[in-house]
């Protein structure tokens, strides 16, 4: 799973990226307009993996991971520059949209003043304009082809017209419902406004845990709710606030120092953990767990997949030779503390191929190859 961090220049994208990936890429008070994208793999914090590792003391502990990519900012009205960003993010699973809400005169703002709601609108529109350009170009190419006698792909044409119509009304494609056929055609079209989106309000340190922060966040939620007029659509948007600068400082500390720092600020855990979790949920992902003396591990799967498909995540042989899955949910396991006790108490279930795997299931696959 890969997420792209996007936003206007100087909104704090690299700061958030550094905090997430514990890297130290240079952040500047000037916009970055060239350079290579930054990539980083991030462990998905999971208290269940921590707890199982404590119990099993395995040789290896493996968390689920997500990858983030950070690149240059989007610019109002600059389609050529923005296309560079869209080309990079066309294959990502979701976008993290960083909005500047912190005040600092030393950090240049591309619109000269801090105004988060205006910036959200600008950025959302740039995504829409980028997609509109793409739809129009493809339709024009189809028309050219038709003139030369080439038969257009009717399904794609219908879909492009539907997208164009929505985009012209300034509706992002994530807020349009597409049937299964349309979704299939959509796969190779590389639109960006269709991607699930996590909005991160990057507030100043002094605004953390204040009414101002709460109000801003509820304004952001209201903005996206108002945009999504089809209640049958699954939510493809989530928002949260954090202070990128503080998060980056915490990420550079050792665990004890970080704990003391968080206690000082009256925060339970870094907001980044929530960001990672929210991204995971938004993509409809869950984790199942495997444990033993060799390894305790979290595996990422899509919500709704069955035990046999989940087995395929580990190895195609296990999927092919699947016999049964021995399953216990993490909470039940913890209530007794060991697999043998769980078995004695009948908490360990034997499930077949079609069992729908739940978040936090600890699974032992029985298979035969």
Ligand X SMILES: Nc1ncnc2c1ncn2[C@@H]1O[C@H](COP(=O)(O)OP(=O)(O)OP(=O)(O)O)[C@@H](O)[C@H]1O
Among the listed ranges 22-30, 44-52, 138-146, 297-305, the one in contact with ligand X (CB under 6 A) is: 22-30
How far is the first Cα of the chain from the last one, in angstroms, to the nearest whole number? 30
239 makes contact with ligand X (CB under 6 A): no
Half-sphere exposure of 47 (CA within 13 A, CB side): 7
The structure tokens 């997208």 sit at 163
CB of 92 to ligand X, least distance (A): 17
Among the listed ranges 23-31, 293-301, 333-341, 346-354, the one in contact with ligand X (CB under 6 A) is: 23-31
28 makes contact with ligand X (CB under 6 A): yes
- Facing residues of 288 across strands? 299
Is 15 part of any known ligand binding site?
A: yes
Q: Which of 94, 243, 301, 362 binds ligand X (CB under 6 A)?
A: 243
Region of 149 on the Ramachandran plot (φ > 0 left; ψ -120 to 50 alpha; else beta): left
- Output phi, psi for 122, to 5 deg: -60, -50
Number of residues engaging ligand X in binding (CB under 6 A): 23
Cβ proximity to ligand X: between 72 and 142 the closer is 72
Encoding tokens for residue 9? 């220049």
Distance CA 40, CA 18 (A): 9
237 makes contact with ligand X (CB under 6 A): no
The structure tokens 């204040």 sit at 210
Distance CA 340, CA 347 (A): 10
130 makes contact with ligand X (CB under 6 A): no
Q: Which of residues 161-200 bind ligand X (CB under 6 A)?
A: none
290 makes contact with ligand X (CB under 6 A): no
Query: DSSP letter at 149?
Result: T
Query: DSSP letter at 74?
Result: B
The structure tokens 């704090």 sit at 12
Cβ proximity to ligand X: between 185 and 208 the closer is 208
Among the listed ranges 56-64, 145-153, 237-245, 314-322, the one in contact with ligand X (CB under 6 A) is: 237-245
Among the listed ranges 13-21, 118-126, 184-192, 288-296, the one in contact with ligand X (CB under 6 A) is: 13-21
Distance CA 369, CA 261 (A): 52
- Binding footprint of ligand X on the chain (CB under 6 A): 7, 9-15, 27-29, 31-32, 72-73, 102, 104, 107, 202, 204, 243-245
Binding site membership: which residues?
10-15
Binding-site positions for ATP read 10-15
């Amino acid at each position: 799973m890969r997420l792209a961090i996007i936003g206007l220049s100087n909104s704090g994208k690299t700061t958030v990226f550094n905090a997430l990936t514990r890297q130290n890429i240079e952040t500047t008070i000037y916009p970055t307009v060239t350079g290579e994208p930054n990539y980083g793999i991030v462990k998905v914090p999971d208290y269940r993996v921590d707890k199982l590792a404590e119990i099993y003391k395995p040789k290896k502990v493996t968390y689920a991971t997500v990858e983030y990519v950070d690149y240059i900012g989007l610019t109002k009205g600059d389609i050529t520059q923005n296309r560079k960003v869209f080309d990079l993010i066309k294959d990502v699973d979701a976008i993290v949209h960083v909005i500047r809400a912190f005040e600092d005169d030393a950090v240049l703002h591309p619109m000269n003043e801090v105004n988060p709601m205006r910036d959200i609108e600008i950025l959302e529109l740039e995504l829409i304009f980028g997609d509109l350009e793409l739809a129009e170009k493809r339709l024009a190419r189809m028309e050219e082809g038709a003139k030369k006698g080439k038969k257009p792909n009717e399904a794609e044409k219908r879909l492009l017209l539907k997208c164009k119509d929505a985009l012209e009304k300034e509706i992002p494609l994530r807020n349009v419902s597409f049937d299964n056929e349309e979704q299939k055609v959509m796969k190779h079209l590389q639109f960006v406004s269709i991607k699930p989106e996590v909005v991160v309000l990057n507030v100043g340190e002094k605004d953390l845990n204040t009414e101002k922060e709460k109000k801003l966040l509820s304004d952001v939620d209201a903005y996206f709710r108002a945009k999504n007029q089809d209640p049958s659509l699954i939510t493809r948007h989530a928002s949260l606030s954090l202070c990128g600068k503080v998060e980056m400082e915490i990420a550079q500390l050792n665990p004890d120092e970080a704990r003391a720092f968080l206690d000082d600020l009256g925060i339970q855990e870094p907001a980044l953990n929530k960001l990672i979790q929210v991204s995971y949920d938004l993509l409809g992902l869950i984790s199942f767990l495997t444990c033993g003396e060799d390894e305790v591990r979290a595996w990422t799967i899509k919500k709704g997949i069955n035990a046999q498909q989940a087995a395929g995540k580990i190895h195609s042989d296990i999927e092919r030779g699947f016999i049964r899955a021995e399953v216990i949910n993490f909470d039940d396991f913890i209530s007794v503390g060991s697999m043998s006790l769980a078995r004695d108490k009948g908490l360990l279930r034997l499930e077949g191929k079609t069992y729908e795997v739940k978040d936090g299931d600890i699974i032992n696959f029985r298979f035969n190859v």
